[in-house]
Amino acid sequence: MKLAIAQLNLMVGAIEANAERVIELANRLAAEGVDLVVFPELTLVGYPPEDLLLRHECLQRVETALARIREQVCGITLVLGYPGERDGARYNLAAAIRDGELLCEYRKRELPNYSVFDEKRYFAAGEDTGLFEQGDLRFALVVCEDIWVDTPVREAAAAGAQVVLTLNGSPYYRGKVRERERLVGKLAARHGVSLVYVNQVGGQDELVFDGASFVCAADGRVALRCVQFEEAVEVFDIDAGGAPAMRPLPPWLDDLEEVWRALVCGVRDYVGKNGFHGVVLGLSGGIDSALTLALAVDALGARNVEVVSMPSRYTAEISNADAAEQARRLGVDYLSIPIEPAFQALLDMLAEPFAGRPMDVTEENIQARIRGLLLMAISNKSGRMLLTTGNKSEMSVGYATLYGDMNGGFAPLKDVPKTLVFALARWRNREVEVIPERVITRPPSAELRPDQQDTDSLPPYEVLDEIIERFVERDESVEEIVAATGFDRAEVERMTRLVLRAEYKRRQAAPGIKITARAFGRDWRYPIVNGC
């Protein structure tokens, strides 16, 4: 029997367009002699649909699209996911359909309600096993979280299933891909079933889905693996006992390339799916904006990227030179707008209320907000989305200016710690140096006052990033962090207080791409007002 994996980049809410893709692909595969094709979780509505599911019209559109698929696809068994109301409740469903006949409709049993997931808000949990037969084989359906516990697959195997088909909307974070394969391989071997794992691919808001669909034989070995971060349709054979044919596996991406591909995918889909024809960003001569520019060019192409340098009285000449040089190397449109006239004009306007008061962070923020104003104006006039360039380290402790450098529609580096920014910059330069070496080696500075460096306000980034990882991603206490690292207790306390105090800024920040186990956004839900 010939089976196919349909690892697709679907758009949330584009129900009719998603259905058309299913119909077109299924009929093409049927003509090529494929017997069964498996699509991802919630194929028709896209994942995650969130509160779209609360609109009755959304479910009506799904039912209309499903009826159309049943009418227009023949000669192949379709396995796909969709939401639906059954017996007075809403379920996350997976179905097997052949020649218009519903062979099986399975209700997802395990509803994740942690990290980025909130499925108990939308769905009721199913209880039954989803089985159907084709030829001499018995198949079972499960959906995503069902494989992270033992029971659904164990019960399917006990009911005689030889092949388990799992439909997934599993978002990416570092290290998760290999974890999935290990888990599924052990599950397949434990219950003696082949397991076909189909995941979606592409960016949706702050989530990126890496694809990486695969097939495990009943002994736990991986028989087939799809590429990451690209659409793929893979056809493979299974024998009369349900065993998949083995084939050579593509190598894993290394860690930095995997992160880079995730960021590129997230930028490309967020900009493109929102209907923008390009992006604009401020290029300071520092490493964050340099890395953001390289990402934008890889995601969208140089002709769709515009950069603006906005030097002030405190900007070093080498910053101006490095910004211009990177723009030249990457072939993007480059514009320089000095902010001194606007800065001086505002200082003059504020002379009376500021009289007798020393210069402080207020004047620094004015510079950042002038730049934010200029970039938003160019974004509005050009129709290009503004990318903001801040990283996770800065967003953690509030080292950013509201309505200034935080302005933008999307923040590609929002979940990228500063130490990883440096590593990615060196990785991107491995073959062709697109980021001038001096940008990477110079001490980081916001250049908002004379001789300013980040370490004036923050510990070294190697220290800060470990504190953030332990406090934000692992929920470790100050005591646990100090015991594990030996860092100065007062410094750890100061940084963790800054993390909690900066929540009001993060609530107003642009969305960004999740690449760590716990990102700011839907993954982190702290009260703005708190007594911690």
Residues designated as active site: 41, 108, 144
Q: Is 46 left (phi over 0), alpha (psi -120 to 50) or beta?
A: left
CA 7, distance to chain mean position in Å, is 16
Tokens of 52: 């779209």
Widest pairwise Cα distance in the chain: 88
Q: Which residue has the tokens 């009721």?
A: 124
Q: What's the DSSP call for residue 227?
A: P
Residue matched to tokens 């974070």? 173
Rounded Cα distance between 166 and 40, Å, is 8
The three-state secondary structure class of 258 is helix
Q: What number of helices (H) and strands (E) belong to the chain?
A: 17, 18
Give the separation between CA 170 and CA 208, rounded to whole angstroms.
9
Q: Is the peptide bond before 358 cis (omega within 30 degrees of 0)?
A: no
Please check whether residue 288 is in contact with residue 322, taking contact to mean a CB–CB distance below 8 angstroms: no
Q: In what order do the strands lie in the sheet with 101-107?
A: 101-107, 89-98, 77-86, 36-38, 2-7, 232-237
Reading the block at residue 206, the tokens are 């702050």
